[in-house]
Amino acid sequence: MERSKTRTERSKQVYAIIGLMVLDADYRDAFFEDPHKAANKLVGSLTTDELLQVQRIAGGGVDRNRDEYVSRVKAAFGNLYETIECPTFPCPGPDPFAA
């Protein structure tokens, strides 16, 4: 039981990285430039499993073009940020051109 608690606690490291990627575009850029360095600076040393998770987030092993992947992921994190900052829902507002 203690092992799973430790694993859960360690998973918070990766969640912290993802959270900052949503909230901070500069961190997001630094992360995609050097994921291990950015992750280590934020949360300290990572386990092998966490490093693999970070590598997957950064586009390691993607079949398509990595630049395209990074661009799409950055846009997705940016959209999450915009949603969080939305003063009223739904955000963005309904499409005025929708029939």
What value does the mean pLDDT of the chain take?
A: 81
What digits encode the pLDDT tens for the residues 17-56? 999 999 999 999 999 899 989 999 999 988 888 888 888 8
Q: What angle do CA 65, 66, 68 make, to 5 degrees?
A: 70
- Longest CA–CA separation in the chain, Å: 56
> What residue has token string 């963005």?
92
Q: Which two tokens stand for residue 64?
A: 């398509």
Residue of 60, 1, 3 lying closest to 31 (CA atoms): 60
Q: What's the pTM value of the predicted model, to 2 decimals?
A: 0.69
DSSP code, position 96 = T
Residue pair 46/54 in contact (Cβ under 8 Å)? The answer is yes
pLDDT over 50 at 1, yes or no: no
